[in-house]
Protein backbone atom coordinates (compact mmCIF):
# COMPACT_ATOMS: atom_id res chain seq x y z
CA UNK A 1 0.00 0.00 0.00
CA UNK A 2 1.00 3.62 -0.44
CA UNK A 3 1.68 5.16 2.95
CA UNK A 4 0.63 8.75 3.66
CA UNK A 5 2.08 10.14 6.89
CA UNK A 6 -0.21 12.75 8.44
CA UNK A 7 1.06 14.89 11.31
CA UNK A 8 -1.87 16.30 13.26
CA UNK A 9 -1.08 19.76 14.68
CA UNK A 10 2.64 19.18 15.19
CA UNK A 11 4.24 21.94 17.23
CA UNK A 12 7.89 21.49 16.40
CA UNK A 13 9.44 22.35 13.07
CA UNK A 14 12.33 20.00 13.84
CA UNK A 15 9.95 17.08 14.17
CA UNK A 16 8.40 17.91 10.79
CA UNK A 17 11.86 17.97 9.19
CA UNK A 18 12.87 14.73 10.94
CA UNK A 19 9.69 13.02 9.74
CA UNK A 20 10.36 14.16 6.15
CA UNK A 21 13.78 12.55 6.43
CA UNK A 22 12.52 9.18 7.72
CA UNK A 23 9.79 9.17 5.05
CA UNK A 24 12.50 9.38 2.41
CA UNK A 25 14.84 6.97 4.25
CA UNK A 26 12.20 4.28 4.03
CA UNK A 27 11.27 4.90 0.41
CA UNK A 28 8.01 6.80 0.94
CA UNK A 29 7.10 10.32 -0.14
CA UNK A 30 3.71 11.55 1.09
CA UNK A 31 3.65 13.99 3.99
CA UNK A 32 0.46 15.77 5.06
CA UNK A 33 0.42 18.40 7.78
CA UNK A 34 -2.77 19.40 9.59
CA UNK A 35 -2.47 22.93 11.01
CA UNK A 36 1.34 22.91 11.23
CA UNK A 37 3.48 25.78 12.53
CA UNK A 38 5.42 27.96 10.12
CA UNK A 39 7.98 25.80 8.33
CA UNK A 40 11.33 27.51 8.23
CA UNK A 41 15.06 26.96 8.27
CA UNK A 42 15.09 24.52 11.18
CA UNK A 43 12.75 22.08 9.47
CA UNK A 44 14.74 22.33 6.24
CA UNK A 45 18.01 21.75 8.06
CA UNK A 46 16.72 18.67 9.91
CA UNK A 47 15.10 17.25 6.76
CA UNK A 48 18.57 17.40 5.17
CA UNK A 49 18.44 15.55 1.83
CA UNK A 50 14.67 15.06 2.15
CA UNK A 51 13.97 18.65 1.14
CA UNK A 52 11.91 17.31 -1.75
CA UNK A 53 9.55 15.47 0.61
CA UNK A 54 9.27 18.51 2.86
CA UNK A 55 8.62 20.97 0.05
CA UNK A 56 6.03 18.68 -1.55
CA UNK A 57 4.12 18.27 1.73
CA UNK A 58 0.42 19.06 1.67
CA UNK A 59 -1.00 21.38 4.30
CA UNK A 60 -4.61 20.66 5.24
CA UNK A 61 -7.16 22.12 7.65
CA UNK A 62 -9.22 19.12 8.65
CA UNK A 63 -8.94 15.42 9.34
CA UNK A 64 -11.45 14.80 6.52
CA UNK A 65 -9.19 16.50 4.01
CA UNK A 66 -6.13 14.73 5.42
CA UNK A 67 -7.53 11.22 5.07
CA UNK A 68 -9.29 11.81 1.74
CA UNK A 69 -9.07 8.80 -0.60
CA UNK A 70 -7.51 6.55 2.03
CA UNK A 71 -8.38 2.88 2.06
CA UNK A 72 -7.26 2.45 5.66
CA UNK A 73 -6.70 4.97 8.44
CA UNK A 74 -4.32 3.94 11.21
CA UNK A 75 -4.02 6.11 14.31
CA UNK A 76 -0.96 5.96 16.53
CA UNK A 77 -1.13 6.08 20.30
CA UNK A 78 1.31 5.57 23.12
CA UNK A 79 -1.50 4.76 25.54
CA UNK A 80 -2.75 1.21 25.20
CA UNK A 81 -6.43 0.53 25.73
CA UNK A 82 -6.87 -0.56 29.31
CA UNK A 83 -10.19 -2.28 29.09
CA UNK A 84 -11.83 -4.30 26.35
CA UNK A 85 -15.03 -2.48 27.33
CA UNK A 86 -13.71 0.71 25.78
CA UNK A 87 -13.37 0.46 22.06
CA UNK A 88 -11.35 3.61 21.49
CA UNK A 89 -7.89 2.09 21.85
CA UNK A 90 -8.79 -1.59 21.84
CA UNK A 91 -7.80 -3.81 20.19
CA UNK A 92 -4.52 -2.19 19.24
CA UNK A 93 -1.89 -3.47 16.86
CA UNK A 94 1.87 -3.37 16.88
CA UNK A 95 3.54 -1.90 13.77
CA UNK A 96 4.45 -5.46 12.74
CA UNK A 97 0.85 -6.60 13.02
CA UNK A 98 -0.21 -3.59 10.94
CA UNK A 99 2.35 -4.60 8.31
CA UNK A 100 0.90 -8.12 8.19
CA UNK A 101 -2.63 -6.79 7.90
CA UNK A 102 -1.85 -4.69 4.83
CA UNK A 103 0.39 -7.17 3.06
CA UNK A 104 -0.79 -7.78 -0.46
CA UNK A 105 -3.45 -5.03 -0.23
CA UNK A 106 -3.67 -1.98 -2.45
CA UNK A 107 -4.71 1.59 -1.79
CA UNK A 108 -3.63 4.41 0.50
CA UNK A 109 -2.82 3.78 4.14
CA UNK A 110 -3.10 7.00 6.12
CA UNK A 111 -0.95 7.02 9.21
CA UNK A 112 -2.24 9.60 11.69
CA UNK A 113 0.34 10.88 14.16
CA UNK A 114 -0.78 13.19 16.96
CA UNK A 115 0.58 16.22 18.76
CA UNK A 116 3.87 16.08 20.70
CA UNK A 117 2.12 16.65 24.03
CA UNK A 118 -1.38 15.21 23.72
CA UNK A 119 -1.20 12.78 20.81
CA UNK A 120 -4.42 12.25 18.89
CA UNK A 121 -7.65 13.45 20.49
CA UNK A 122 -10.36 10.89 21.15
CA UNK A 123 -12.51 12.25 18.32
CA UNK A 124 -9.54 11.83 15.96
CA UNK A 125 -8.88 8.26 17.12
CA UNK A 126 -12.57 7.53 16.48
CA UNK A 127 -11.97 8.23 12.79
CA UNK A 128 -9.33 5.52 12.60
CA UNK A 129 -9.94 2.00 11.30
CA UNK A 130 -7.04 0.64 13.27
CA UNK A 131 -5.10 1.76 16.33
CA UNK A 132 -1.33 1.22 16.27
CA UNK A 133 0.87 1.20 19.32
CA UNK A 134 4.61 0.65 19.36
CA UNK A 135 5.49 -1.78 22.15
CA UNK A 136 7.41 0.42 24.58
CA UNK A 137 8.45 0.15 28.20
CA UNK A 138 5.82 0.98 30.85
CA UNK A 139 8.62 2.96 32.54
CA UNK A 140 8.58 5.48 29.70
CA UNK A 141 6.14 4.57 26.95
CA UNK A 142 5.97 7.91 25.13
CA UNK A 143 8.36 8.22 22.21
CA UNK A 144 9.38 11.39 20.48
CA UNK A 145 7.06 11.93 17.51
CA UNK A 146 9.63 11.55 14.73
CA UNK A 147 11.18 8.47 16.36
CA UNK A 148 7.77 6.81 16.55
CA UNK A 149 7.22 7.55 12.85
CA UNK A 150 10.66 6.08 12.08
CA UNK A 151 9.75 2.80 13.77
CA UNK A 152 6.36 2.49 12.04
CA UNK A 153 7.74 3.38 8.60
CA UNK A 154 10.64 0.97 9.12
CA UNK A 155 8.08 -1.81 9.59
CA UNK A 156 5.92 -0.74 6.67
CA UNK A 157 8.85 -0.17 4.32
CA UNK A 158 9.02 -2.23 1.17
CA UNK A 159 12.70 -1.53 0.80
CA UNK A 160 14.52 -4.74 0.02
CA UNK A 161 15.44 -6.29 3.35
CA UNK A 162 17.68 -8.97 1.90
CA UNK A 163 21.09 -8.56 3.44
CA UNK A 164 24.53 -9.74 2.42
CA UNK A 165 23.08 -13.14 3.25
CA UNK A 166 22.38 -13.68 -0.44
CA UNK A 167 26.00 -14.57 -0.82
CA UNK A 168 26.03 -17.45 1.63
CA UNK A 169 28.26 -20.33 0.66
CA UNK A 170 26.54 -23.36 -0.87
CA UNK A 171 26.58 -26.65 0.99
CA UNK A 172 29.00 -28.15 -1.58
CA UNK A 173 31.55 -25.39 -0.96
CA UNK A 174 31.28 -25.89 2.75
CA UNK A 175 31.68 -29.67 2.43
CA UNK A 176 34.88 -29.12 0.44
CA UNK A 177 36.09 -26.87 3.23
CA UNK A 178 35.28 -29.49 5.88
CA UNK A 179 37.03 -32.21 3.85
CA UNK A 180 40.02 -29.91 3.54
CA UNK A 181 40.01 -29.27 7.29
CA UNK A 182 39.87 -33.01 7.96
CA UNK A 183 42.87 -33.61 5.68
CA UNK A 184 44.65 -30.77 7.40
CA UNK A 185 44.08 -32.34 10.83
CA UNK A 186 45.69 -35.52 9.50
CA UNK A 187 48.58 -33.59 8.03
CA UNK A 188 49.36 -31.85 11.30
CA UNK A 189 49.20 -35.18 13.16
CA UNK A 190 46.04 -34.38 15.12
CA UNK A 191 45.11 -37.20 17.51
CA UNK A 192 42.89 -39.71 15.76
CA UNK A 193 40.53 -40.27 18.70
CA UNK A 194 39.81 -36.56 19.03
CA UNK A 195 39.35 -35.91 15.33
CA UNK A 196 35.65 -36.60 14.94
CA UNK A 197 34.68 -34.51 17.93
CA UNK A 198 36.85 -31.63 16.77
CA UNK A 199 35.49 -31.85 13.22
CA UNK A 200 31.99 -31.60 14.63
CA UNK A 201 32.95 -28.57 16.67
CA UNK A 202 34.43 -26.91 13.57
CA UNK A 203 31.24 -27.67 11.68
CA UNK A 204 29.18 -26.10 14.44
CA UNK A 205 31.33 -22.98 14.68
CA UNK A 206 31.51 -22.42 10.94
CA UNK A 207 27.85 -23.32 10.54
CA UNK A 208 26.79 -20.70 13.05
CA UNK A 209 28.97 -18.15 11.34
CA UNK A 210 26.95 -18.51 8.13
CA UNK A 211 29.95 -18.28 5.83
CA UNK A 212 29.83 -16.53 2.49
CA UNK A 213 31.21 -18.23 -0.60
CA UNK A 214 34.09 -15.81 -0.60
CA UNK A 215 34.93 -16.53 3.03
CA UNK A 216 35.04 -20.26 2.29
CA UNK A 217 37.50 -19.62 -0.52
CA UNK A 218 39.70 -17.49 1.71
CA UNK A 219 39.69 -20.10 4.49
CA UNK A 220 40.73 -22.77 2.00
CA UNK A 221 43.49 -20.45 0.78
CA UNK A 222 44.78 -20.24 4.34
CA UNK A 223 44.77 -24.04 4.63
CA UNK A 224 46.61 -24.44 1.33
CA UNK A 225 49.22 -21.94 2.44
CA UNK A 226 49.67 -23.77 5.76
CA UNK A 227 49.90 -27.16 4.01
CA UNK A 228 52.56 -25.83 1.73
CA UNK A 229 54.49 -24.46 4.70
CA UNK A 230 54.48 -27.86 6.45
CA UNK A 231 55.59 -29.49 3.23
CA UNK A 232 52.30 -31.23 2.45
CA UNK A 233 50.66 -29.30 -0.36
CA UNK A 234 51.73 -27.68 -3.59
CA UNK A 235 52.44 -23.95 -3.68
CA UNK B 1 21.05 -10.15 25.97
CA UNK B 2 21.76 -6.88 27.71
CA UNK B 3 22.16 -4.13 25.14
CA UNK B 4 24.78 -1.42 25.60
CA UNK B 5 24.41 1.49 23.19
CA UNK B 6 27.74 3.14 22.43
CA UNK B 7 27.85 6.45 20.58
CA UNK B 8 31.25 6.95 19.00
CA UNK B 9 32.24 10.64 18.92
CA UNK B 10 28.72 12.03 18.55
CA UNK B 11 28.73 15.74 17.73
CA UNK B 12 25.22 16.74 18.66
CA UNK B 13 23.95 17.00 22.20
CA UNK B 14 20.38 16.65 20.94
CA UNK B 15 21.21 13.27 19.43
CA UNK B 16 22.67 12.10 22.73
CA UNK B 17 19.49 13.18 24.53
CA UNK B 18 17.28 11.57 21.89
CA UNK B 19 19.23 8.31 22.14
CA UNK B 20 18.84 8.32 25.95
CA UNK B 21 15.09 8.65 25.42
CA UNK B 22 14.78 5.74 22.97
CA UNK B 23 16.98 3.59 25.22
CA UNK B 24 14.45 4.07 28.01
CA UNK B 25 11.45 3.80 25.64
CA UNK B 26 12.53 0.29 24.70
CA UNK B 27 13.32 -0.85 28.22
CA UNK B 28 17.13 -0.59 28.09
CA UNK B 29 19.43 1.53 30.24
CA UNK B 30 23.11 1.42 29.25
CA UNK B 31 24.51 4.38 27.34
CA UNK B 32 28.25 4.75 26.69
CA UNK B 33 29.71 7.83 25.04
CA UNK B 34 33.13 7.81 23.41
CA UNK B 35 34.60 11.34 23.33
CA UNK B 36 31.24 13.15 23.44
CA UNK B 37 30.77 16.93 23.39
CA UNK B 38 29.82 18.79 26.55
CA UNK B 39 26.40 17.57 27.68
CA UNK B 40 24.20 20.46 28.66
CA UNK B 41 20.64 21.71 28.75
CA UNK B 42 19.76 20.72 25.20
CA UNK B 43 20.57 17.06 25.75
CA UNK B 44 18.66 17.07 29.04
CA UNK B 45 15.65 18.69 27.42
CA UNK B 46 15.56 16.19 24.52
CA UNK B 47 16.08 13.22 26.85
CA UNK B 48 12.95 14.37 28.68
CA UNK B 49 11.94 11.66 31.17
CA UNK B 50 15.07 9.66 30.37
CA UNK B 51 17.23 11.95 32.48
CA UNK B 52 18.19 8.92 34.56
CA UNK B 53 19.67 7.13 31.51
CA UNK B 54 21.50 10.27 30.42
CA UNK B 55 22.94 11.04 33.85
CA UNK B 56 24.06 7.42 34.34
CA UNK B 57 25.85 7.33 30.97
CA UNK B 58 29.48 6.29 30.99
CA UNK B 59 32.01 8.45 29.20
CA UNK B 60 34.98 6.54 27.77
CA UNK B 61 38.10 7.40 25.79
CA UNK B 62 38.66 4.34 23.66
CA UNK B 63 36.77 1.66 21.77
CA UNK B 64 38.48 -0.95 23.98
CA UNK B 65 37.01 0.61 27.11
CA UNK B 66 33.63 1.01 25.43
CA UNK B 67 33.24 -2.61 24.44
CA UNK B 68 34.80 -4.08 27.61
CA UNK B 69 33.02 -7.25 28.80
CA UNK B 70 30.86 -7.48 25.68
CA UNK B 71 29.96 -10.89 24.32
CA UNK B 72 29.08 -9.51 20.90
CA UNK B 73 29.98 -6.23 19.22
CA UNK B 74 27.65 -5.03 16.48
CA UNK B 75 28.62 -2.04 14.35
CA UNK B 76 26.04 -0.01 12.48
CA UNK B 77 26.55 1.29 8.98
CA UNK B 78 24.40 2.95 6.37
CA UNK B 79 26.74 1.80 3.61
CA UNK B 80 26.22 -1.79 2.58
CA UNK B 81 29.21 -3.82 1.54
CA UNK B 82 29.48 -3.70 -2.21
CA UNK B 83 31.63 -6.70 -2.85
CA UNK B 84 31.95 -10.04 -1.14
CA UNK B 85 35.71 -9.68 -1.65
CA UNK B 86 35.81 -6.98 0.99
CA UNK B 87 35.04 -8.32 4.41
CA UNK B 88 34.61 -5.00 6.19
CA UNK B 89 30.88 -4.53 5.64
CA UNK B 90 30.04 -7.96 4.29
CA UNK B 91 28.00 -9.91 5.12
CA UNK B 92 25.73 -7.40 6.87
CA UNK B 93 22.62 -8.09 8.87
CA UNK B 94 19.32 -6.28 9.19
CA UNK B 95 18.24 -5.38 12.75
CA UNK B 96 15.72 -8.24 12.56
CA UNK B 97 18.42 -10.72 11.60
CA UNK B 98 20.55 -9.46 14.50
CA UNK B 99 17.59 -10.02 16.83
CA UNK B 100 17.24 -13.60 15.61
CA UNK B 101 20.96 -14.21 16.03
CA UNK B 102 20.96 -13.19 19.69
CA UNK B 103 17.69 -14.81 20.70
CA UNK B 104 18.15 -17.07 23.69
CA UNK B 105 21.78 -15.94 24.16
CA UNK B 106 23.17 -14.29 27.26
CA UNK B 107 25.79 -11.59 27.81
CA UNK B 108 26.31 -8.01 26.72
CA UNK B 109 25.61 -6.90 23.16
CA UNK B 110 27.50 -3.70 22.39
CA UNK B 111 25.87 -1.65 19.69
CA UNK B 112 28.41 0.73 18.15
CA UNK B 113 26.92 3.81 16.49
CA UNK B 114 29.19 6.15 14.57
CA UNK B 115 29.50 9.85 14.03
CA UNK B 116 26.70 11.89 12.45
CA UNK B 117 28.78 12.72 9.39
CA UNK B 118 31.21 9.83 8.90
CA UNK B 119 29.70 6.93 10.79
CA UNK B 120 32.17 4.38 12.11
CA UNK B 121 35.70 4.44 10.78
CA UNK B 122 37.03 1.34 9.06
CA UNK B 123 39.29 0.51 12.00
CA UNK B 124 36.25 0.70 14.31
CA UNK B 125 34.17 -1.53 12.04
CA UNK B 126 37.04 -4.03 12.10
CA UNK B 127 36.51 -4.45 15.83
CA UNK B 128 32.92 -5.55 15.29
CA UNK B 129 31.75 -9.17 15.24
CA UNK B 130 28.73 -8.27 13.18
CA UNK B 131 27.78 -5.41 10.87
CA UNK B 132 24.19 -4.17 11.06
CA UNK B 133 22.50 -2.15 8.38
CA UNK B 134 18.92 -0.88 8.48
CA UNK B 135 17.29 -1.52 5.11
CA UNK B 136 16.79 1.99 3.75
CA UNK B 137 16.06 3.47 0.37
CA UNK B 138 18.98 3.88 -2.06
CA UNK B 139 17.54 7.35 -2.72
CA UNK B 140 18.46 8.42 0.79
CA UNK B 141 20.00 5.63 2.84
CA UNK B 142 21.51 7.69 5.67
CA UNK B 143 19.28 8.02 8.72
CA UNK B 144 19.68 10.49 11.51
CA UNK B 145 21.73 8.87 14.28
CA UNK B 146 19.03 8.77 16.96
CA UNK B 147 16.39 7.50 14.52
CA UNK B 148 18.68 4.65 13.49
CA UNK B 149 19.20 3.75 17.16
CA UNK B 150 15.41 3.84 17.66
CA UNK B 151 14.88 1.31 14.88
CA UNK B 152 17.59 -1.08 16.10
CA UNK B 153 16.48 -0.90 19.75
CA UNK B 154 12.85 -1.38 18.67
CA UNK B 155 13.90 -4.66 17.07
CA UNK B 156 16.04 -5.76 19.99
CA UNK B 157 13.50 -4.77 22.63
CA UNK B 158 12.16 -7.47 24.89
CA UNK B 159 9.17 -5.34 25.79
CA UNK B 160 6.03 -7.44 25.60
CA UNK B 161 4.79 -7.15 22.04
CA UNK B 162 1.47 -8.84 22.65
CA UNK B 163 -1.25 -6.43 21.66
CA UNK B 164 -4.92 -6.23 22.49
CA UNK B 165 -5.08 -9.36 20.37
CA UNK B 166 -4.98 -11.47 23.52
CA UNK B 167 -8.63 -10.72 23.91
CA UNK B 168 -9.79 -12.21 20.61
CA UNK B 169 -13.19 -13.87 20.71
CA UNK B 170 -13.21 -17.67 20.82
CA UNK B 171 -14.66 -19.60 17.92
CA UNK B 172 -17.69 -20.63 20.05
CA UNK B 173 -18.57 -16.98 20.75
CA UNK B 174 -18.27 -16.15 17.09
CA UNK B 175 -20.44 -19.11 16.08
CA UNK B 176 -23.15 -17.91 18.46
CA UNK B 177 -22.92 -14.50 16.83
CA UNK B 178 -23.23 -16.00 13.34
CA UNK B 179 -26.22 -18.13 14.43
CA UNK B 180 -27.76 -14.99 15.90
CA UNK B 181 -27.16 -13.09 12.65
CA UNK B 182 -28.76 -15.90 10.67
CA UNK B 183 -31.85 -15.82 12.89
CA UNK B 184 -31.94 -12.07 12.52
CA UNK B 185 -31.90 -12.33 8.73
CA UNK B 186 -34.93 -14.62 8.99
CA UNK B 187 -36.65 -12.25 11.37
CA UNK B 188 -36.27 -9.28 9.05
CA UNK B 189 -37.54 -11.34 6.12
CA UNK B 190 -34.26 -11.46 4.24
CA UNK B 191 -34.59 -13.27 0.90
CA UNK B 192 -34.00 -16.98 1.38
CA UNK B 193 -31.97 -17.49 -1.81
CA UNK B 194 -29.53 -14.72 -0.86
CA UNK B 195 -29.11 -15.77 2.74
CA UNK B 196 -26.23 -18.21 2.45
CA UNK B 197 -24.15 -15.89 0.32
CA UNK B 198 -24.77 -12.99 2.68
CA UNK B 199 -23.95 -15.11 5.73
CA UNK B 200 -20.66 -16.05 4.13
CA UNK B 201 -19.90 -12.40 3.44
CA UNK B 202 -20.65 -11.52 7.07
CA UNK B 203 -18.35 -14.32 8.20
CA UNK B 204 -15.60 -13.01 5.98
CA UNK B 205 -15.98 -9.42 7.11
CA UNK B 206 -16.17 -10.26 10.81
CA UNK B 207 -13.42 -12.84 10.45
CA UNK B 208 -11.05 -10.31 8.93
CA UNK B 209 -11.91 -7.86 11.68
CA UNK B 210 -10.56 -10.28 14.31
CA UNK B 211 -13.28 -9.52 16.84
CA UNK B 212 -12.60 -9.38 20.55
CA UNK B 213 -14.87 -11.24 22.95
CA UNK B 214 -16.26 -7.95 24.15
CA UNK B 215 -17.05 -6.81 20.60
CA UNK B 216 -18.95 -10.04 19.96
CA UNK B 217 -21.03 -9.40 23.06
CA UNK B 218 -21.80 -5.84 22.00
CA UNK B 219 -22.78 -6.92 18.48
CA UNK B 220 -25.14 -9.49 19.95
CA UNK B 221 -26.56 -6.78 22.22
CA UNK B 222 -27.34 -4.70 19.13
CA UNK B 223 -29.06 -7.66 17.51
CA UNK B 224 -31.17 -8.31 20.63
CA UNK B 225 -32.16 -4.67 20.78
CA UNK B 226 -33.14 -4.71 17.12
CA UNK B 227 -35.09 -7.96 17.55
CA UNK B 228 -36.97 -6.48 20.44
CA UNK B 229 -37.79 -3.38 18.38
CA UNK B 230 -39.25 -5.46 15.56
CA UNK B 231 -41.26 -7.46 18.08
CA UNK B 232 -39.24 -10.67 17.82
CA UNK B 233 -37.10 -10.97 20.91
CA UNK B 234 -37.50 -10.34 24.63
CA UNK B 235 -36.31 -7.03 26.10
- Mean pLDDT computed over every residue of chain A: 88
Task: Judge contact between A133 and A92, C-beta under 8 A.
Answer: yes
All residues at 6 or more sequence positions from B17 whose CB lies less than 8 Å from its CB, including other chains = B42, B43, B44, B45, B46, B47, B48, B50, B54
Query: So what's the pLDDT on residue A210?
Result: 75
Q: Rounded to whole angstroms, what are the CA distances from B191 to A94, B93, B98, B183, B196?
A: 41, 58, 57, 13, 10
**Among candidates B135, B161, B213 on the partner chain, residue whose Cβ is nearest the Cβ of A161:** B135
Task: Work out how many CB contacts closer than 8 A connect A with B.
Answer: 156
* Domain ranges for chain B: 2-161, 165-229
ipTM: 0.79
Q: Rounded to whole angstroms, what are the CA distances from B91 to A173, B21, B76, B78, B111?
A: 17, 30, 12, 13, 17
Query: So what's the pLDDT on residue A162?
Result: 47
**Among candidates B151, B157, B212 on the partner chain, residue whose Cβ is nearest the Cβ of A135:** B157
Give the fold, CATH level 3, of A2-161.
Alpha/beta knot (3.40.1280)
Q: pLDDT per position in chain B (235 positions), as tens? A: 899 999 999 999 999 999 999 999 999 999 999 999 999 999 999 999 999 999 999 999 999 999 999 888 999 998 765 555 556 666 678 999 999 888 888 889 999 999 999 999 988 988 888 889 999 999 999 999 999 999 999 999 987 654 444 467 788 888 899 999 999 999 888 889 888 888 888 888 887 777 878 888 888 988 998 888 888 766 5
**Is the pLDDT higher at B188 or at A233?**
B188
- Asked if the Cβ–Cβ distance from A142 to B25 is below 8 Å, we say yes
**Distance (Å, whole) CA A78 – CA A148:** 9
| CA distance to partner chain B, nearest, from residue A230 (Å) | 27
Query: So what's the pLDDT on residue A71?
Result: 87
Q: Which helix (H) or strand (E) holds B98?
A: helix B95-102
DSSP per-residue letters across B137-171:
-TTS----HHHHHHHHHHHH--S----GGGGBPPH
Give the fold, CATH level 3, of B165-229.
Helicase, Ruva Protein; domain 3 (1.10.8)
Query: So what's the pLDDT on residue B165?
Result: 46
* Cβ neighbours around A103 below 10 Å, total: 8
With the CA atoms of A39, B51, B143 and B65 taken in that order, what torsion angle do they form, in degrees rounded to the nearest 10?
150
Share of chain A above pLDDT 90, in %: 54
Q: Do domains A2-161 and A165-229 have the same CATH topology?
A: no
Kindly list the strands in the beta sheet with A30-34, ordered across the sheet, starting from the edge strand earlier in the chain: A58-60, A30-34, A2-8, A108-113, A72-76, A130-132, A92-93
Task: Judge contact between A230 and A188, C-beta under 8 A.
Answer: yes
Strand pairing category for B58-60 and B30-34: parallel
Q: Which helix (H) or strand (E) holds B33?
A: strand B30-34
When mean pLDDT is compared across A26-30, A189-193, B48-52, the lowest value belongs to A189-193
- Asked if the Cβ–Cβ distance from A212 to B136 is below 8 Å, we say no
Query: So what's the pLDDT on residue B163?
Result: 47
**Distance (Å, whole) CA B209 – CA B182:** 19
- Asked if the Cβ–Cβ distance from B91 to A212 is below 8 Å, we say yes
Q: Averaged over A11-27, what is the pLDDT?
A: 97
Looking at beta carbons, which residues of chain B come within 8 Å of A157? 135-137
pTM higher than 0.90, yes or no? no
**Among candidates B22, B81, B163 on the partner chain, residue whose Cβ is nearest the Cβ of A97:** B163
- Asked if the Cβ–Cβ distance from A143 to B25 is below 8 Å, we say yes
Q: Rounded to whole angstroms, what are the CA distances from A56 to A53, A67, A150, B155?
A: 5, 17, 19, 31
Amino acid sequence: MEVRTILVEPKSEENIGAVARVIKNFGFSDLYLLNPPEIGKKAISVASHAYDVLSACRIVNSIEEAIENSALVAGTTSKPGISAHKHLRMPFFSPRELKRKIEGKRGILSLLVGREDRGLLNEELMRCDIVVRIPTSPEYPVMNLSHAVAVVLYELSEVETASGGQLLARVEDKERLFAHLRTFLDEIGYREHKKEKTMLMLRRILGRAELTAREVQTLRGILRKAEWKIGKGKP
